[in-house]
Structure 1
Amino acid sequence: MATKQILSSKDIIEKCLAKGESVKKRIDTGLYFRISDEGTAFWILRYSANGKRRELTLGRYGKGAGELTLSKAKAEAVNKRAEVNKGIDLIAEKKRPKQAKYKTVNDVAQKWLEICRRELKNPQIPERVYRKEIAPRIGDLAVTRVKPIDILDMVEQINDSGRPTIANDALGYCKQIFNRAIKEGAITFHPAGALTIKDAGGSEKSRKRFLTMSEIKITLEVMRENSHSFTRENYIAFCLLLVLGVRKGELIAAKWEEFDFDKNIWHLPEERTKTGKAISTPLSSLILPWFQELSIRANGAEFLFPSRRLSKRRGYISDDTLNHALAKLFGNDGYIKKSKKKLPNLLGEAGIKHFVVHDLRRTCRSLLAENKVLPHIAEKCLNHKLKGVEGIYDQYDYFEERSTALDNLAKQITILT
């Protein structure tokens, strides 16, 4: 009686390949060699998960790149069976979304900034803080290597430079960036999770600074005397912020097409207001010469304050242009800390206590109150939402009343210019 020949795994494979027919042969525990109807040879792993029989393709048979020889297929089968023994369903795992392959913080931030551009009305604000404060310090670090101490050191340095608000913003943005990294599986530990604003700039107190008429008079004189550093465009922007009470971002991004100089109205569209509600702002005839001068200086540009650099990222001036110009007038006592030389405190020497651009909006509101403008009209001048029931039912825009209020304010300011 003939003894049945036991073929080796290699012999089985060679026999199947020689026949060239569709076949599936068991090679090892759970490991099968298969040839498809099209003649493609590949490896299959059979296993059970949650009471169900499963078949997982391990790869093509061969010695080429990405292919599996017999020995490699056996080794891969052993590894996969070890995962199955841990309760892992290999096919279910393959269907899971792939984890993001972020390498550096800059990679994650790029995705985060895309979301900011889609969701935020003013995405340039977080983008500016990231580009100037966060990226230079931790942007090139591997996202998995960032530690709490890295972020703590960063926000402390920003705070020590006299910018507590920016320190708090930077910490908040770091939290958002690493939240994104966690959501996409790039990291499991949040390096900014344990930090609070106490570690950055601390609790921010509402600013109360505003300028009196006498301070405005002195400030404008200093600006005119130093026009080589505080340019004429900056001077006009400063004055317009005082007499119109608009937000700086609304003014510097204004386009000529928004203005109707036949009716002396600035139509500010809803997509450019913080409240999300369009507003028509009356323009006093006293301030029209400023717009005429800006038109000449703009030289056909679509913006009132076109970018002054050839390598511009956008069509109008930077958000920091006016801030830095004003800060320089306060010298090293302002928030400019990078200057290696001593800068004179021109405004301080003239008796002006430090203030920032955003204080001009508060100044406008205070001057309106001083002029006995009714509160709800003054609030409308600044395009604030009225509070409570009044805000719900009072939809009147008080255009005529605002026109009178802003015209009276323009008379006070223009006489000083």
Structure 2
Amino acid sequence: MAKRELNLLSDIQLRKWISAGAPVAKSDGGGLTFTLSAGGAAAWVLRYRMGGRRQEVTLGRYPDMKLAAARAAAAKRRVAITDGINPADEIRKAKSRKDWTVRQLIKDYREKVFSTLAASTQQSYGRNLVRIENGMGAMSLDSVAPADVVAEIERHDVGWVESFTLWCVLRGIFKHAAGKKMIVASPCAGIQLEAIIGKRPEVRKRLMLTDAEIGVLMNAKMNTENLLSARVLLATGVRISELLTARREHVFLDDARWHIPKSKTGPEMDIPLAPSVVEWFRQLDELAGRSGYVLPARLRTRYKRLDGDANVSKDALREAIDFWIDNHKPKIRRFTPHDLRSTMKSHMRKLGVPRDISEMCLNHKLKGVEGIYDQHAYYDERRHALELWARFLATCQAGEKWNVVPFKQTA
């Protein structure tokens, strides 16, 4: 077999042919060929045989790709050919693959995945998608590396929980890209969130207000809507989201009943309303005007943004409580609306309300086998427990000592 000659060309020859301007096709050996068109475009071409056919691929343009670089690229392609890989096929695959930006990926993710998520998830994911678009939206999808993902997380000083949500969104969009085979592997792979933002802070323990603190809250110097909202939350033990989104059509004051539709946080449920709670709802009903919500939005901009009717902002009551504590300095520990649920649960147990009934009052599912077989709604028992609890709240509000007979299970 004749020895294959390589490295036949020199830089001097290349410059000479470029200066002359005449079309040429000169071999450097091993299939590497320097070509110069009549229009003056110079390029490197690798010619080879595969599958019994003569084929060729363009490696790059001269002088962008120098002679040494062209020889290295040709050597790499020749090794691939020996392994049965056709360079022309690889180039065709690369051209057919969509070269998307991260912004284009996010747009596709919104259409295919984001739209199927729960409303609350869309809210938290949505603001983080905007963060990612602003931070790395213009980047080519193929160029995103793990270091870019880490930089995106470190760019935002938003607290541990929000950083975790941002991390979930980043994993979600790049998982979507990998699923579409737009990237070989997600750049999030191998990244440890704790190494970036540290371990999650200890979860804040729920607070149980004392009898005296309950009395302070029941007489709080807040505007009427906020005070009545705090009282309803404390008296019914509902989740703050359930009260904020409550519609007037679901509150049946003549029946002393509030219907809460099924949601991702719990099944549908009818809540018995004690007489005092019915009165608070009547006052809220008068204040609601023409809105369909028990607690309407207080800003016109929110009405306009949400098609003419909207419930109050999710942060309104929490901010009202903080404002009251900061400005009026009441004798009460700082608490959140959710702490009112733990307050009710703890005090109900002190009043002798059985665990299963107190759990049902909070719309919690019973655990284990008991939860599977016990489908009883405990409506009468819950009514009895909530009325007892309302009388206890009235005693606290009046600053009197509790001396009512503890809860007794009905027959």
TM-score range normalised by the length of the shorter chain: 0.5 to 0.7
Say if 2:241 is the partner of 1:253: no
Q: CA deviation at 1:195?
A: 3.4
In 2, Cα distance between the equivalents of 1:206 and 1:243?
25
In 1, Cα distance between the equivalents of 2:228 and 2:136?
38
The structure-2 alpha-carbon separation of the partners of 1:358 and 1:222, relative to structure 1 and needing over 3 Å to count, comes to: same
1:213-264 residue CA offsets vs partner (Å, 9 max, x unmatched):
222333454543xx4xxxx322222221111111111111111222222211
Residue 390 of structure 2 corresponds to: 410
The structure-2 alpha-carbon separation of the partners of 1:87 and 1:180, relative to structure 1 and needing over 3 Å to count, comes to: same
The structure-2 alpha-carbon separation of the partners of 1:390 and 1:320, relative to structure 1 and needing over 3 Å to count, comes to: same
Say if 2:290 is the partner of 1:304: no
Residue identity opposite 2:150 in structure 1: I
1:384-416 residue CA offsets vs partner (Å, 9 max, x unmatched):
110111011111111111111111222233452
Say if 2:393 is the partner of 1:401: no
The structure-2 alpha-carbon separation of the partners of 1:396 and 1:191, relative to structure 1 and needing over 3 Å to count, comes to: same
Q: 1:368 aligns with which of 348, 352, 363?
A: 348
- Please report the TM-score for the alignment, with normalisation by the length of structure 1: 0.62
SS in 2 for 1:122: helix
SS in 2 for 1:254: coil
Q: 2:312 aligns with which of 317, 320, 341?
A: 317
In 2, Cα distance between the equivalents of 1:414 and 1:140?
56
SS in 2 for 1:383: coil
Q: 1:285 aligns with which of 261, 268, 275?
A: 275
Contact 1:379–1:386 (Cα < 8 Å) also in 2: yes
Residue 181 of structure 1 corresponds to: 177
The structure-2 alpha-carbon separation of the partners of 1:289 and 1:394, relative to structure 1 and needing over 3 Å to count, comes to: same
In 1, Cα distance between the equivalents of 2:195 and 2:348?
36
Residue identity opposite 1:245 in structure 2: G
Residue 153 of structure 2 corresponds to: 152
Say if 2:381 is the partner of 1:385: no
In 2, Cα distance between the equivalents of 1:222 and 1:248?
18
Contact 1:165–1:201 (Cα < 8 Å) also in 2: no
Residue 233 of structure 2 corresponds to: 241
**1:11-410 residue pairs with structure 2 within 5 A?**
86-87=85-86, 102-105=100-103, 108=106, 111-112=109-110, 115-120=113-118, 122-127=120-125, 129-130=127-128, 134=131, 138=135, 140-142=137-139, 144=141, 147-154=148-155, 157-159=157-159, 164-188=160-184, 190-193=186-189, 194-197=191-194, 199-200=196-197, 202-203=199-200, 205-210=202-207, 211-224=209-222, 227=223, 232-270=224-262, 272-275=263-266, 277-307=267-297, 308=299, 309-313=302-306, 315-329=310-324, 345-346=326-327, 349-410=329-390
Contact 1:105–1:138 (Cα < 8 Å) also in 2: no
The structure-2 alpha-carbon separation of the partners of 1:388 and 1:117, relative to structure 1 and needing over 3 Å to count, comes to: same
Contact 1:112–1:177 (Cα < 8 Å) also in 2: no
Structure 1: stretches of 5+ with no match in the other structure: 1-46, 54-81, 331-344
SS in 2 for 1:158: coil
Structure 2: stretches of 5+ with no match in the other structure: 1-48, 54-80, 399-411
Calculate percent identity across the aligned residue pairs.
Answer: 25
Residue identity opposite 2:200 in structure 1: S
The structure-2 alpha-carbon separation of the partners of 1:261 and 1:153, relative to structure 1 and needing over 3 Å to count, comes to: same
The structure-2 alpha-carbon separation of the partners of 1:172 and 1:284, relative to structure 1 and needing over 3 Å to count, comes to: same
Residue 339 of structure 1 corresponds to: none
Contact 2:125–2:165 (Cα < 8 Å) also in 1: no
In 2, Cα distance between the equivalents of 1:191 and 1:392?
43
Q: CA deviation at 1:362?
A: 1.4
- Please report the TM-score for the alignment, with normalisation by the length of structure 2: 0.63
